[in-house]
Amino acid sequence: MTAGAAPGVRQDTAVPRQETMRGIVWRQFRRHPAALFALVTLAIVAGAAVLADVIAPYDPNQLDLLNRWSPPSFEHLFGTDKQGRDMLSRILHGGRISLSVGVLAMTCAVLVGTAIGALAGFFGGLVDTVLMRLADFFLTFPQIFVLLFLSYLLRQAQIEFFQGGFGNIVLVIAATSWMIVARLVRVSFLKLREEEFIAAARSYGAGSRHLILVHILPNAAGPILVAGTRGVADAILIESGLSFLGYGIQPPAASWGNILQDAFTTMGVYPWLTLFPGFMIFITVLALNYLGDALRDALDPYKIESAVRR
């Protein structure tokens, strides 16, 4: 679009715009009605979690026994809990833990799932059968029962990775959440391994590792990204749920789930305490779901193709 373009001549019809892949995806992404909402919400929630130390008005574990259960006020925006701790500060710090559990657990689950799916899809045969039966098993058995059982075992064995059960919960969520990604990756591999460019690469002497990592996996990145985004939302829900049941993040460390559990025990008298932690879980999961949805639309090969053709 040069300044010297003749008036009335549309520059973009004269010179076809070279749109990058990234540009197309971004344009498709923005078209989703809630994409912007999702990005802004997540930016705020994540920013608040990262900056919790700076913006939290109080120390999240500082007791103030004279000010227990105080209702929301200018001094304590979200009120205080049963030990007089400032709810806003606890929710900010809890967000840090809940978000990092979600992201970490899903990262691990995606890595495990990708590895299993890639092995199953690439090698097929017995490897495929065994791994997929394993995935089926984990998919059919209600996850929360397995999670409770595993958390119980870890606690019983007094195994604790990092403080407050943080590592444990990442571990158990990852161990029970890899199946969806594994299936997606497997299907991509089954499809792609018959393609001609793979045969071509093989004819040049490419080994299995090279084929998997360089030629096939990048092509499966889209579905993995979408499933991973949704997975973070699920992991946050699971973490909160387990903490709500008392088998997740252990007090005094705060997570949205165990703040909610605390509030649940005194709900009859101090109902407002249940509002904020639950709402934070809700809004974060909502934004992540929207993000996953928008990403799926944006990365849809058919839509990208039609965008290129136009």
Partner 1 sequence: MQRYILRRLAQLPVMLLLISIVAFLAMQLVPGGPLAIYARGNVSPEALQAIREKLGLDDPIHIQYLRWLVPALQGDLGFSFTTNRPVLGEVVARVGPTFYLMGSTFAVVLVLSILLGALQAVRQYSKLDVFLTTISFGGAAMPVYWLGLMLILINSAIRNPDTGRPFLPIGGMATPGVPPTLDDYLSHLVLPMAALGFGWVSWYARYVRSSMLDVIHQDFIRTARAKGVPEHIVIFKHALKNAALPLVTVVAIDLPYMFAGALFTEIIFGWPGMGFFFYQSVVRRDYPVMMGVIVIIAILVMLGNLLADILYAYLDPRVRYEKRSR
Q: Is residue 252 within the footprint of partner 1 (CB under 8 A)?
A: no
Span from 76-84, 111-119, 147-155, 166-174 in contact with partner 1 (CB under 8 A): 147-155
Say if residue 88 is exposed, middle or buried (CB neighbours under 10 Å; 0-12, 13-18, 19+). Answer: buried
- Specify whether the CB–CB gap between 94 and 81 falls below 8 A: no
Considering only 247, 248, 255, 262, the residue that binds partner 1 (CB under 8 A) is 247
* CB 28 to partner 1: min, Å: 18
Considering only 23, 57, 252, 271, the residue that binds partner 1 (CB under 8 A) is 271
Spell out the residues 6+ positions from residue 158 whose beta carbon is closer than 8 angstroms to its own.
none
- Identify which of 80, 183, 173 has the alpha carbon closest to the alpha carbon of residue 136: 183
Centre a 10 Å sphere on the Cβ of residue 11 and count the other Cβ atoms it contains: 11
Span from 79-87, 170-178, 197-205, 242-250 in contact with partner 1 (CB under 8 A): 242-250
Q: Is residue 269 within the footprint of partner 1 (CB under 8 A)?
A: no
The CA-based angle 262-78-75, given to 5 degrees, is: 125
Is 143 or 219 the residue whose CB approaches partner 1 more closely?
143
Cα atoms in the Cβ-side hemisphere of radius 13 Å centred on 222: 18
* CB 94 to partner 1: min, Å: 14
Query: SS3 for 302?
Result: helix
In the numeric block, the tokens 């909502």 are attached to 286
- How far apart are the C-alpha atoms of 151 and 28, rounded to whole Å? 42
Is 152 or 161 the residue whose CB approaches partner 1 more closely?
152
Q: Is residue 95 within the footprint of partner 1 (CB under 8 A)?
A: no
Q: Is residue 161 within the footprint of partner 1 (CB under 8 A)?
A: no
For binding to partner 1 (CB under 8 A), which residues are involved? 34, 137, 139-145, 148-149, 152-153, 156-158, 233, 237, 240-241, 244-247, 260, 264, 267, 271, 274, 278-279, 281-283, 285-286, 289-290
